[in-house]
Structure 1
Amino acid sequence: MRPLTDNPVTSPEDDSFHFGPYVDVLHAAVEQATPLPLTVGVFGSWGAGKSSFLRLWERRFEAGKTRTIWFNPWKYDRKVEVWAALLHTILAEMEQEETLKEKAVRLAKAATWLSVRAGLGTAAALGTGGVIKREDVDELLQGLSEGDAEQYRQVNRFEADFADAVREFVGADGRLVVFVDDLDRCTPESAMTVLESLKLYLAQAQCVFVLALDVDVLAAIATNKFGEALKGAPAEVASGMAYLDKIVQLPFFLPDVGFDTLREAFRPYVSELADDPFFWELLQRGLGSNPRRLKRYINVFNMALAVARGQLPPGAIDRRYSLQLAVLLIIRTLHRGFYHTLTAEPDSWLTLTRFFEQAQTNATIRQTASLQLPPYLHDVATDSVLERLLTHNGQERLSPPDGPAVRQMISTLRSTAGPADPE
């Protein structure tokens, strides 16, 4: 059993999702972008492959003179001001250049001072990549009580000084590409401060900022933050999307990865049923085309089958049992309420399947679900997604397991996926 990992793809040879052509298009557009800075939004849902896309794009810059920096904001979330950690990550790279070291340290102190003024205190030192030590922060704090005209001057000039440092770092015609991954994993406040810092402190530099995020998550965060202040304004002004439009000049929505592509990419990792078309039909119907969800599912399914073979007598696990276990794992993943019902009433799978099958040929039965089914199945009687999974109107139908078999499968899943979350 070879588990699938969630590590992002880093080389074109491993681009099983076929992102390459899209990377080419975006790369060509950014290469021609002037004047800078430019902010690019790579938008995609959770688990859609944003990190892989960014890593593939990062490799494209290796052949040229463009310099790149990778920043993971969630590593600093709740520890330091994330926007300050972004600045210090860039400045720490600049510090490696002997001719830039003094300027980078001076700018890092100014950034730390900004953090101190924002109320961060000595915690500012945690996100500076070693450029600023705790004693430096203590010195700045002492300076606040003694007069900080010089610090104010540095802050007022920070944007221009930072732009000068970047120009020296990349050359007069160069550019610095900063990849900001997983921004939507941060707390709402941290994510917003990162976006705002791009406008406040970095708006003159020769930089391309690439933000990987779920646009719906960030739009909701922005709407919550500014909604009350913009109450009564037109929807196109008050929405979070309107705010993001001001930050992101070049939006790019990650292409959907087709299920056929995912099947070919993941087939070598499926220990059993890898060449069974019905198995993949069930996965497509029950889980959709989210790469991360499918990876985790296949890992758990492989483990569950291996455990089941150790629990049951030889020959007890046939194709039907394996498919039933596959469906039960889908139910556990996306239909938690029904899964909890099965733990208490394992015959419910058979009962509900028969109801769905009868209802598909007799509409009256569906209208009288409260009379046809026990009370604990009333809520799921209208779940069309669950109905398609249990009945599957294709060339093949999966017969439901009986109660004892369901209990055995639930025991197996407890050993591999753990107990289901409470309702």
Structure 2
Amino acid sequence: MDKFVEENEVFEKYSIIKREQYADFLTNFLNQQAENGYVLNLNAEWGAGKTTFLKCWYNKLKANHPVVYFDAWKTDFTHDAMTALMDSFHAQLANPISGNKALIRDFYEKGMHFIKVAVPSLAVGYLKHKSGMPDDESLLQDITDTFGINVTEDSCSDALKETLKAALEQRKKVEGINEFKTALEKIAGEYIKVTNKNFPIYIFIDELDRCRPNYAIEVIENVKHFFNTKNFVFVIATDTKQLQHSIKAIYGYEFDSNLYLSRFFNQSVTLPQPKLIEFIQSKYQFKLDTSFPTDKNIIDDTLIAKLISKIFKYHNINSLREIDKILISLDSCGKSADKKLNILSLLTLLILRNFHPKIYNEFKYQKLIPYR
């Protein structure tokens, strides 16, 4: 088993969904766009199969390309997207080149300045001169050299010193972005050389839908500002409408979240949905209700699948994950029953119980008709 993605997650396992061809199309497209770095937004509603698609695509790509899989939900508790991203890059890219400690050290040193948890002493260490001056003296000298203000003079207030320290920190951060990207590119080049794989390096970011709004936004912002560099392709899977709501929750409901996201993604594509009727047919093995005509020329499994799909659409249920749960329950009832069931009635009750519990209880206990 792969440490990050299960090896049995392959497109052949989900043949009815028929998404392998789409993955091949995206691979060919992204390979041509990667020279200067590329960020692709893979859009689909929650439960539409984004995770399954990414994992299958990961296992197909990894023979020829380095691939990093980042589960944002698993790191949401850390409250620091930069640290989580750096750790994933280290675990999945730097480990094969662990003998080159200088590269790995450089990667962390260049990224340390952007980590929230970096304590002030670490920030000062980042600014130290190679001359070996004491930390405070080194920092004060940096401020004098940068701004032309001697903060050791008695006339320089503590407030001004703190302001100049903050300004220097900000300037170092801006200058450090390119240094961090250079360190990242060096690790990528060494990885390619050691593993004999090909550029680009693919980074799959998954499960943003489940994260706190501010953490999801932070992940995307960090990708764009710090990690988006040449020969790196990011595929960020999102329910884009939900993400836009998250952005509005942070920045205000009058905020143009669509325009905001367009700054971070080079392109957005929508994961194609499988044909619902075929998906339903692949999932159920029901006994036909005795009230149905048994003549196959009049009614067959395809017609039943069409009726079931219409019921799902009527109730505005589009998530494959939720549809699958209902079908599993329906199939279990059908297999455990001693007699044939009216599957359409049972399906309706399952939908009401799962998605409209109040209406379901009114029907069950008060005999109120759900549909009027």
User: When the two structures are superposed, what TM-score results if normalisation uses the length of structure 2?
Assistant: 0.71
1:233-291 Cα offsets, whole Å, 9 max, x none, are xxxxx521111111111211111221122023213xx4545965565344212223532
1:212-251 Cα offsets, whole Å, 9 max, x none, are 11111112222333447xx6xxxxxx52111111111121
Within 1, Cα distance between the matches of 2:248 and 2:7? 31
**CA 1:335–1:194 in structure 2 vs 1: closer, same or farther (change >3 Å)?**
same
Say yes or no: does 1:302 pair with 2:306: no
CA-atom RMSD, angstroms? 3.2
Say yes or no: does 1:292 pair with 2:321: yes
Aligned to 1:225: 250
1:95–1:104 CA contact under 8 A, matched in 2: no
SS of structure 2 residue aligned to 1:60: helix
Q: Which of 239, 258, 261 is residue 214 of structure 1 equivalent to?
A: 239
SS of structure 1 residue aligned to 2:76: coil
Within 2, Cα distance between the matches of 1:280 and 1:69? 39
SS of structure 2 residue aligned to 1:344: helix
Aligned to 2:10: 11
**CA 1:169–1:9 in structure 2 vs 1: closer, same or farther (change >3 Å)?**
closer
Aligned to 2:164: none
Per-residue deviation at 1:30?
Answer: 0.7
Per-residue deviation at 1:181?
Answer: 1.1
Aligned to 1:335: 356
1:95-120 Cα offsets, whole Å, 9 max, x none, are 331453332234235545532xx2x4
Within 1, Cα distance between the matches of 2:104 and 2:16? 40
Say yes or no: does 1:263 pair with 2:268: no
Q: Which of 87, 102, 127 is residue 149 of structure 1 equivalent to?
A: 127
Q: Partner amino acid for 1:170?
A: I
Of structures 1 and 2, the one with the larger relative CO (CA 8 A, separation 6+) is: 2
Q: Partner amino acid for 1:245?
A: S
SS of structure 1 residue aligned to 2:199: coil
Per-residue deviation at 1:147?
Answer: 5.4
Per-residue deviation at 1:10?
Answer: 2.5
Percent identity reads: 20
SS of structure 2 residue aligned to 1:251: strand
Within 2, Cα distance between the matches of 1:219 and 1:340? 34
**CA 1:142–1:252 in structure 2 vs 1: closer, same or farther (change >3 Å)?**
same
Aligned length in residues: 304
Per-residue deviation at 1:318?
Answer: 3.6
Aligned to 1:240: 257
1:163–1:202 CA contact under 8 A, matched in 2: no
Within 2, Cα distance between the matches of 1:112 and 1:301? 53
Within 1, Cα distance between the matches of 2:98 and 2:76? 31
In structure 1, stretches of 5+ residues that fail to align are 1-6, 122-139, 232-237, 310-314, 354-380, 382-423
User: Pairwise mapping of residues 374-413 of structure 1 onto structure 2 (< 5 A)?
Assistant: 381=372
Within 2, Cα distance between the matches of 1:173 and 1:8? 20
Within 2, Cα distance between the matches of 1:8 and 1:173? 20
Aligned to 2:135: none
Per-residue deviation at 1:169?
Answer: 2.6
Per-residue deviation at 1:9?
Answer: 7.7
1:338-397 Cα offsets, whole Å, 9 max, x none, are 112113212x23xx66xxxxxxxxxxxxxxxxxxxxxxxxxxx4xxxxxxxxxxxxxxxx
SS of structure 1 residue aligned to 2:204: strand
1:313-343 Cα offsets, whole Å, 9 max, x none, are xx6x4433x5432321122123333112113
SS of structure 2 residue aligned to 1:40: strand
2:11–2:20 CA contact under 8 A, matched in 1: yes
SS of structure 1 residue aligned to 2:203: strand
User: Pairwise mapping of residues 106-117 of structure 1 onto structure 2 (< 5 A)?
Assistant: 106-112=106-112, 114-115=114-115
1:95–1:105 CA contact under 8 A, matched in 2: no
Aligned to 2:95: 95
Within 2, Cα distance between the matches of 1:211 and 1:147? 34
Within 1, Cα distance between the matches of 2:265 and 2:89? 20
2:42–2:271 CA contact under 8 A, matched in 1: yes
**CA 1:280–1:90 in structure 2 vs 1: closer, same or farther (change >3 Å)?**
same
Say yes or no: does 1:164 pair with 2:142: no
User: Pairwise mapping of residues 129-144 of structure 1 onto structure 2 (< 5 A)?
Assistant: 142-143=121-122
User: Pairwise mapping of residues 63-78 of structure 1 onto structure 2 (< 5 A)?
Assistant: 63-64=63-64, 66-78=65-77
**CA 1:194–1:107 in structure 2 vs 1: closer, same or farther (change >3 Å)?**
same
SS of structure 1 residue aligned to 2:40: strand
Per-residue deviation at 1:188?
Answer: 0.6
1:152-202 Cα offsets, whole Å, 9 max, x none, are 769823233223322333359722111111112111111111111122212
